[in-house]
Structure 1
Amino acid sequence: MANPKLKQMIAAGEFITAPGVFDMISTLVADRMGFPALYVTGYGVSASHLGLPDAGIMTYTDMETRVRRIAEGATTPVIADADTGYGGLLNVRHTVRGYEAAGVSAIQIEDQEYPKKCGHTPGRRVVPLEDMVSKIKVAVDSRSSSDFLIIARTDSRTSLGIDEALRRGEAFAEAGADVVFIEAPETVEEMQMINDRIGAPTLANMVSGGKTPILSSAKLHEIGFSIAIHPALGFLAVGQALKAAYGELLETGDVANAQLDNFGEFSKLMGFEDVWEFDRKWAEV
């Protein structure tokens, strides 16, 4: 079930910085670093699991299976991307119940048409406002505990402008969303407008190379945001590190100077200490 700490931290005015995780290695590393929450990125899961773009190809089953394992392996509250809820209102109910049962603490549902596309990319289209409001109401009604938070995202800024995005954000809050997420504001002024207008906690999406200015957690908190997710940070860092290490091997045939984690410490992170203790206990049986 949902970890109540996330709701409690938001209610207390604490700022939530959530790095993006996309597999169990990234989850275990981030979970041990003391972040207040982790964010399961649909882009990252689609890339790492399928090797395909975040373009509505991942199914509910694909995502729920991996979200469940991440939530089981983390002690930190987990926020998880659920795209459009994977269909209509009945699908939204099924998705909310499934994510909550998986141990997620907050689910993110957006107002894009199906199949959705990754935020900060062109060609995104949104459904009518009343359709998304109905999804939010179903999501709120379908959860078993108010500790499980509903994050409602609109992608309307890019195609319909900031005024429509703000109108939708206000409607999402009125419909019962715990957190409002207006995707891809393009200036700091627009980011401030979001927090001046929306009567609910807000979320900022920090994507390196995206449309939104990258600000520090302190600045985002000052502007009025409650949560900042960094969905691409992990997989972009991993991609760069892999290219450097593999490139060193390809070019020189020697990895003596490669920047690598310690194998022993990494083995401990993966749980080998428990295996070693088990072997010692049962070695003479």
Structure 2
Amino acid sequence: MSGLRAGLASGRIQRWPGAMNPLVAKLIQEIGFEGVYVSGAVVSAELGLPDIGLTTLTEVAERGRQIARVTDLPVFIDADTGFGEPLNAARTVRLLEEAGLAGCHLEDQVNPKRCGHLDGKSLVPVEDMVRRLRAAVGARRDPDFVICARTDARGVEGLDAAIDRAKAYVDAGADLIFTEALETAAEFAKFRAAVDVPLLANMTEIGKSELLSAGQLESLGYNAVIYPVTTLRLAMHAIETGLREIDRTGTQSELLDRMQTRSRLYDLLDYRAYNAFDADIFNFTVSE
């Protein structure tokens, strides 16, 4: 059983912070989280684009490959709507498997989609999403690759409709269910009571969901939780603050105590291991 499937079956909630780049994924592993998440919203934002379905399968798969390459943790990725029709969803699964990802989620919005915590979303009919999922499951070559169905029905059709959709998606072969934009602990609990497969919670900030702790979600019976945009928001706030300071004062001298040191960066990048491996060919000194 893969690390992702084993974690979902462990009885302990799996915490998957979003990695906006491979370096963040290395830090997620070092700190001791159970997995890494690659957010479609973050991939879009790093390209300077809104999260409305503008990224391509190639762009998303390549970012997933870059992140999976640097960590031993399972990497779970946002595959939007599968980037087209059911055949596109099938190809998406094949490419993500080849890129070293451990699983992905596909959602039931129309294409182009919208960020899950925005209003004005539109859903495909249940039958269309079932075809999307069946194509994805049928294309899977690695039985350990986890296919998750995300439903955005809570904000469009209501909680009961989201539950009905989730049950249909389980029947279509989904291994994991992700219900976007549940609002309260009571809604999370109601969903857990109604759906008998592993469940994923989204604890994104500044959205529609009450921010529940990992412990609270575990007690409610959830198997995994993502923090999709947290690292990007932390980084961009710090970057903007620093750039405005330089613009105002002409120097970064007052920002040094807020920066990662060179030695810490080199430690995270494991310069010494590269140096030892390459010592017979080229040597360099690591210093602050």
Partner secondary structure for residue 21 of structure 1 = coil
Residue 251 of structure 1 is aligned with which of 245, 248, 251?
Answer: 248
How far is the alpha carbon of 1:89 from its aligned partner?
1.1
Instruction: Map 1:176-215 onto structure 2 (within 5 A).
Output: 176-215=173-212
For residue 275 of structure 1, report the CA deviation from its aligned partner.
Answer: 4.8
From 45, 61, 64, the counterpart of 2:61: 64
Alignment of 1:142-221 (within 5 A): 142-221=139-218
Paired with 2:273 and 2:182, the residues of 1 have a C-alpha distance of: 47
Measured after TM superposition, the shift of residue 274 of structure 1 is: 4.5
- The equivalent residue for 1:261 is 260
Contact 1:23-1:45 at 8 Å conserved across structures: no
**CA offset digits 1:105-132 (Å, max 9, x no partner):** 1111000000011110122111000111
Q: Secondary structure at the match of 2:167?
A: helix
**Cα distance, 1:213 vs. partner?**
0.5
Equivalent residue, structure 2, for 1:282? 281
Structure 2 residue aligned with 1:115: 112
Distance 2:169 2:78 in 1: 17
Q: Which runs of 5+ in 1 are unaligned?
A: none
Amino acid in structure 2 at the alignment position of 1:93: A
Residue 17, structure 1, aligned to residue 15, structure 2 = yes
Kindly indicate whether the alpha-carbon contact (under 8 Å) linking 1:54 and 1:118 is maintained by their aligned counterparts in 2. yes
| Amino acid corresponding to residue 264 of structure 2 in structure 1 | E
Partner of 1:44: 42
Query: What is the TM-score with the length of structure 1 in the denominator?
Result: 0.94
Q: Distance in 1 between matches of 2:152 and 2:21?
A: 26
1:269 deviation in Å?
A: 2.2
Which digits, 9 at most, give the CA deviation of each residue in 1:201-237, with x for residues without a partner?
A: 1111011110011000000011111110000111001
The equivalent of 1:7 in structure 2 is 5
1:56-95 matched pairs, under 5 angstroms: 56-95=53-92
Instruction: Give the whole-Å Cα distance in 2 for the aligned partners of 1:91 and 1:103.
Output: 19
**In the aligned structure 2, how far is the partner of 1:248 from the partner of 1:12?**
47
Contact 2:90 2:137 in 1 (8 A): no
For residues 158 and 65 of structure 2, the distance between their equivalents in structure 1, rounded to whole angstroms, comes to 36
**C-alpha distance in 2 between matches for 1:215 and 1:229:** 12
Cα-Cα RMSD? 1.6
Q: What count of residue pairs does the alignment treat as equivalent?
A: 281
Q: CA deviation at 1:280?
A: 4.3
Report which stretch shifted further, 236-245 or 249-258: 249-258
What SS class does the counterpart of residue 35 from structure 1 fall into? coil
**What TM-score does the superposition give when structure 2 sets the normalisation length?**
0.93
Residue aligned with 1:152, SS: strand
Q: 1:245 to 1:142 in 2, by over 3 A?
A: same
Shift of 1:246: 1.8
Give the Cα–Cα distance (whole angstroms) in 2 for the partners of residues 280 and 38 of structure 1. 32
Following the alignment from structure 1 to structure 2, what is the Cα–Cα distance between the partners of residues 107 and 275? 32
The 3-state SS of whatever aligns with 1:203 is strand
Report what 2:126 is aligned to: 129
**1:92 & 1:69 partners in 2: Cα distance?**
21
Q: C-alpha distance in 2, partners of 1:126/1:251?
A: 47
- In structure 1, what is the Cα distance between the partners aligned to 2:241 and 2:28? 22
Structure 2 residue runs of 5 or longer lacking an equivalent are 284-288
Q: Which residue pairs with 2:286 in the alignment? A: none
Q: Say whether 1:241 aligns with 2:238.
A: yes
